[in-house]
Amino acid sequence: ITATAADGIKLNQLGFLPGADKVAVVPDGAARDFSIVRAGSDTVVQSGTLGPATNAPESGDTVRLAHFASLQTPGRYQLRVAGLPDSPPFEISASAYQAVNAAALKAYYFNRAGVALDAAHAGIYARAAGHPDTQVLIHASAASPARPAGSVISSPKGWYDAGDYNKYIVNSGISTYTLLAAYEDFPAYFQAQRLNIPESGNGVPDILNEARWNIDWMLTMQDPADGGVYHKLTNLRFDGMVMPAQATAPRYVVQKTTAAALDFAAVMATASRVYAPYDAALATRMRTAAQQAWRWAQAHPRDYYRQPADVATGEYADNDVSDEQAWAAAELYITTGDNAYYQALHAPEQAMTVAAWSDVRGLAWLSLARHRKTLGAAADQALIASRVDGLAQQLAAAWQQSPYGITLQKKDYVWGSNAVVLNQAMVLLHAYRLNGKRAYLDAAQSGLDYVLGRNAVELSFVTGYGTRSALHPHHRPSVADGIDAPVPGWLVGGPQPGQQDKQGCPQPYPSALPARSYLDHACSYASNEIAINWNAPLVYVSAGLQALTPA
Ligand code: G3I
Ligand code: 9MR
């Protein structure tokens, strides 16, 4: 299957929780009504009137919305409109997103570096270990008196960043934090979840077991001599499309950067409070590591990443670290209660934005909002609430005006657009938790609907989930493992008009329109790669909707 001219009914192919808002996108035609039938039958259980026809410039089509929130009886259904094929089948179920949520977390296990995946946990995706990273070279850009260029450190474990096999602290920062945030916000949900990973059953929730695999690696990326943190652990060039065990190029740690130190500090401060009930010594170690990285960053406020001439892998370069500074300050304040960190946050100057690896200031506000009841007097409660609600209002307004009924706007179709819509949903869920405005919950639902099929290319962007899902992600194990089906549970990057990969692709993109500029081919790293920072808001939002949607 390839995503070409998709002109059918578009909806969340997994379905809906009984109490959720429910919307489908219908291409404009002669019909003015829709019905819902029991899947595979002509038994009509509900009918309704389509909304007004609206032109969607991002996808170049004219569509109408079908609203059917009042359908709440569990079952399997299809949406029917005269003149069109029936929609893909979907379920109404109280556990609609449990499986995709568990798979999105299990995907991290499948991307573990430095360990064999055994059949008991990985099933058909079992594979040999690769990238032990116990003999990692200090790159010239990272040399220090105690660790000269060419000397060797051990920096094992961690997750591969994406479809490539490198490990990047900046992107690990937002990814790991978002999983920890999901746990902080929905602890009961995750305490009940079992992922069948090697640590399952050890008394620690599996989401924390999985995050720990990456945190253990992150801890090794800090230079104990000064608290600085290496930006990345990488080959000099990207590996070919081979399995991990076949990828044996030398590995390096490259340049200590301010962004890496601050993202590291934010994650370790967060982890310190999250793991404290399970392991007090570990929590202390994380807190100390966070403070040491923070101090290094204060002494090196502008050490931006500069890709060395001999290194060609992912950059995650960013010349504005004011957001990383604010985020680290917020997490250190929440964890330590030390007012000096709140002052360092410069709260009134910090805008609220939708988080991305290069802009993490919104994470500071989300964490402050989450912990508002236990913050000290220094924290401005009204400001915290108004920052989160202010952005949610903007997102809800965009949602209300959108032809597809989504929060994505033209500017949001960037590399990793599927994570943009889910990070928007994460903000909306936080705002809903703060003030209970139902529109925020419904707008957040639209974000999950979008990635699970209510989009212009009518595809579930999560591998293995939905009747018609992405089949050919730019993901080295999925390409090289000899198994037709891609490794499941991964969110692909999604449509964006940059098409930076098109020279290397044997087939053209089906469209240049932002919402259709997507190629389901393994060549397409600009629209069809997978990445740890894109799966993390999928984990958050799919759990959040399960936990927050009223029955
Ligand atoms: O910052 C500019 C902005 O000023 C400008 O307006 C905008 C216009 O397109 O571009 C912005 O830069 C973008 C940059 O991300 C920052 O968001 C670039 O266009 C865009 O090409 C770049 O994409 C990044 C991509 O690497 C290429 O560097 C993605 O965000 C990032 O997710 C992706 O990450 C890769 C890793 O490097 C390697 N591992 C896989 C991973 C996922 O593809
Ligand atoms: O595989 C790489 C992918 O993980 C990155 O996101 C992407 C952009 O940095 O680059 C990919 O590697 C490509 C390289 O940039 C150019 N030659 C082809 C590589 C894909 O196999």
Point out the ligand nearest to the CA of residue 524. 2
Task: Please name the residues in contact with 544: beta carbons below 8 A apart, sequence gap of 6 or more.
Answer: 182, 185, 186, 425, 426, 429, 444
Summarize the confidence of residues 223-236 as an average pLDDT: 98
Cβ atoms of residues 214 and 158 within 8 Å: yes
pLDDT in tens, 476-504: 999 999 999 999 999 999 999 999 999 99
Looking from the CA of 251 toward its CB, the CA atoms found within 13 Å total: 24
Point out the ligand nearest to the CA of residue 312. 2
- The yes-or-no verdict on residue 232 having pLDDT over 90 is yes
Nearest CA to 336 among 292, 382, 376?
376
Would residue 19 count as lying in a domain?
no
CATH assignment at residue 226: 1.50.10.10
Would residue 347 count as lying in a domain?
yes
pLDDT in tens, 414-461: 999 999 999 999 999 999 999 999 999 999 999 999 999 999 999 999
Residue whose CB lies within 8 A of the most ligand 1 atoms, among 357, 415, 423, 501, for a mutation test: 415
Residue 325 CA, ligand 2 centroid: distance in Å: 30
Give pLDDT, residue 6. 67
Summarize the confidence of residues 348-372 as an average pLDDT: 98
Q: Report d(CA 276, CA 325) in Å as an integer.
A: 24
Positions marked catalytic: 164, 474, 520, 529
- The pLDDT-based confidence of 57 (bands split at 50, 70, 90) is very high
Number of structural domains in the chain: 1
Give pLDDT, residue 521. 98
Residue 183 CA, ligand 2 centroid: distance in Å: 32
Residue whose CB lies within 8 A of the most ligand 2 atoms, among 111, 238, 357, for a mutation test: 238
Would residue 325 count as lying in a domain?
yes
The amino acid at residue 305 is Y
Point out the ligand nearest to the CA of residue 171. 1
In DSSP notation, 85-149 reads: PPPPPEEE-TTTTHHHHHHHHHHHHHTBSSSPBPHHHHGGG-B------SSEEEPGGG--SSS-T
Would residue 416 count as lying in a domain?
no
Summarize the confidence of residues 177-198 as an average pLDDT: 98
Percent above pLDDT 90 for the chain: 99
pLDDT in tens, 301-323: 999 999 999 999 999 999 999 99
- The yes-or-no verdict on residue 351 having pLDDT over 50 is yes
pLDDT in tens, 250-298: 999 999 999 999 999 999 999 999 999 999 999 999 999 999 999 999 9
Residue nearest atom 41 in ligand 1 by C-alpha distance: 162
Would residue 131 count as lying in a domain?
yes
- The yes-or-no verdict on residue 242 having pLDDT over 80 is yes
**Residues having CB within 6 Å of any atom of ligand 2:** 162-164, 238, 314, 504, 525, 529
pLDDT in tens, 516-532: 999 999 999 999 999 99
Q: For tokens 């009509």, what's the residue?
A: 44
Give pLDDT, residue 3. 33
- The yes-or-no verdict on residue 5 having pLDDT over 90 is no
Give pLDDT, residue 2. 34
Would residue 17 count as lying in a domain?
no
The boundaries of the domain holding residue 207 are 112-363
pLDDT in tens, 361-370: 999 999 999 9
- The yes-or-no verdict on residue 22 having pLDDT over 60 is yes
Residue 542 to residues 24, 103, 250, 378, 494, Cα–Cα distance (Å): 18, 11, 38, 34, 18
Q: What does the mean pLDDT of the chain come to?
A: 97
Would residue 464 count as lying in a domain?
no
Summarize the confidence of residues 85-109 as an average pLDDT: 98
- ipTM exceeding 0.85, yes/no: yes
Would residue 14 count as lying in a domain?
no
